[in-house]
Amino acid sequence: MPDTNWTTRPWHRDWLQARANELFDLFQRNAVNPKGGFYDLDASGRPYGHIRHLHQTSRMVHCFAIAAKLGRPGAETIVDHGMRYLWEGHRDRKSGGYCWSLDDDGFKDDSKQAYGHAFVLLAASDAAMIGHPLAKDMLADVTGVLNIRFWDEHYGAVSEEFARNWAKISDYRGQNSNMHLTEALIAAFEATHDAAYLDKAKRIATLIIRTHAASLDYVVAEHFDEQWKIDKGYKGSDMFRPAGTTPGHWLEWSRLLAQLWVLDGRREAWMIDAAEQLFRSAVNRGWDEAKGGFYYTLDFENQPAITHKIWWPVTEAIGAAAFLNALKPDSFYEHWYRKLWDFSAIHFIDPANGGWFPELGDDLKPFDRFFTGKPDIYHALQASLIPLFPATGSLMRAIS
């Protein structure tokens, strides 16, 4: 293998920047809903639908805050549009918290989801880093909701879901919401320098990874009961809570643990060790060696369960490979970084309409089972930008 990484080569860096700008162009041009929030995009990149989901609104704020910090014209207008919809639309002024979805007539699903609140914290943190006028109040508001309503101090993680009036919906506990809260807590720490955010992120990581994933030889369990015991028999929806394990989440955790290791002054060895172990576990167990791509889910014998190839695990693997290779240079990570982009460029990136195909069937052709149209900008954008910046924390921290 050549002795220079792709991420140091000017042509590759230009190619990554072009991919990021294509995504920014697509969503800046087509996703803004003049009635508030953002449209979904169909397979051609055109706006459709009228339901706005909390995580999607928040992710648009996150991505265009990154764009604003990069100096992209028009990005701050997108951030402002999203922040106002979070504050004036999704926020429940009566009972507190942020409701899951809205349409033009008001709340569509008024449940309060930890997953959604994690992304509100991410959006508010990023908006604070570019000086948005609503960011300070939103950051304080969502932090209070998370601390009072969701956070379980005994276990060091958040509960999953509540009704609008904060009545308990279920005893289910999920790692996915806690993983994304870890991402948001890191961003909040970077925005405020308040160590309480980082301490919570470390507690979640300790529970999900150091306690549970390590006991499973670095397989991340997804589903738990209210005592945080693994529920191997859980069968939720195939899209959001599929049975078994999801290798893409092992890869997300790989990068997040590496970021925690960088940011935490103690640089605890278990974090970076687990980051490396999770990456290797995912590519060794989750990659389809015959066809390419990551299986969406595995069973607890590490055999493929849902074999369709979804776009976001590959993007998360790209970010993790780049981040780890910067911190712990190794030809193994460089090999996988190139292999992942090779597969994505051939199969996932849509050259005709922009964006990425969200899902491939077993023949590696675009296929609609779980996702329709163009997925949101969040995962693919981070894959395009993380390799361009130092591995010093989140993109918002690294871009300066």
The one-digit pLDDT tens for each residue of the chain (400 residues) are 456 899 999 999 999 999 999 999 999 999 999 999 999 999 999 999 999 999 999 999 999 999 999 999 999 999 999 999 999 999 999 999 999 999 999 999 999 999 999 999 999 999 999 999 999 999 999 999 999 999 999 999 999 999 999 999 999 999 999 999 999 999 999 999 999 999 999 999 999 999 999 999 999 999 999 999 999 999 888 778 999 999 999 999 999 999 999 999 899 999 999 999 999 999 999 999 999 999 999 999 999 999 999 999 999 999 999 999 999 999 999 999 999 999 999 999 999 999 999 999 999 999 988 888 998 899 999 999 999 999 999 999 999 7
- Domain for residue 257, yes or no? yes
DSSP-derived letter for residue 367 is: -
- Domain for residue 26, yes or no? yes
- Domain for residue 322, yes or no? yes
- Degrees (nearest 5) of the Cα angle 44, 47, 49? 120
Q: Collapsing DSSP states into helix, strand and coil, what is residue 364?
A: coil
- Domain for residue 325, yes or no? yes
Q: What is the pLDDT of residue 355?
A: 96
Pick the catalytic residue from 132, 223, 347, 379: 379
- Residue 206 phi, psi (nearest 5): -65, -45
Outline where the chain has alpha helix (H).
Answer: 10-30, 54-70, 75-85, 114-129, 135-145, 175-192, 195-205, 214-215, 247-263, 269-286, 311-327, 331-343, 378-385, 395-398
- Domain for residue 195, yes or no? yes
CB 309 within 8 A of CB 296: yes
Q: What is the pLDDT of residue 236?
A: 85
CB 377 within 8 A of CB 59: yes
Of the candidates 203, 198, 245, 255, which has an alpha carbon nearest to the alpha carbon of residue 224?
245
- Domain for residue 236, yes or no? yes
CB 230 within 8 A of CB 212: yes
Q: What is the pLDDT of residue 3?
A: 67
Residues contacting residue 20 through CB under 8 Å, at least 6 positions apart? 381, 384, 385
Pick the catalytic residue from 223, 249, 308, 347: 249
* CATH assignment at residue 148: 1.50.10.10
What is the four-CA torsion angle of 112, 319, 45, 361, rounded to 10 degrees? -90
What is the four-CA torsion angle of 171, 166, 159, 186, rounded to 10 degrees? 160
Of the candidates 162, 181, 180, 184, which has an alpha carbon nearest to the alpha carbon of residue 171?
162
Rounded distance between C-alpha atoms, residue 369 and residue 173, angstroms: 26
CB 130 within 8 A of CB 69: yes
Q: Is 249 a catalytic residue?
A: yes
Burial of 217 (C-beta count, 10 Å sphere; 0-12/13-18/19+)? exposed
Which two tokens mark 121?
Answer: 């914290």
What is the four-CA torsion angle of 81, 380, 15, 389, rounded to 10 degrees? 80
Q: Is 379 a catalytic residue?
A: yes
In sequence order, the β-bridge partners of residue 103 are 106
In sequence order, the β-bridge partners of residue 366 are 360
- Residue 40 phi, psi (nearest 5): -75, 160
The tally of domains found in the chain comes to: 1
- Domain for residue 126, yes or no? yes
DSSP-derived letter for residue 157 is: E
Q: What is the pLDDT of residue 400?
A: 77
Sign of CA dihedral 30, 34, 38, 41: negative
What range defines the domain where residue 344 resides? 6-398
Rounded distance between C-alpha atoms, residue 279 and residue 248, angstroms: 10
Which two tokens mark 108?
Answer: 């569509």
- Domain for residue 1, yes or no? no
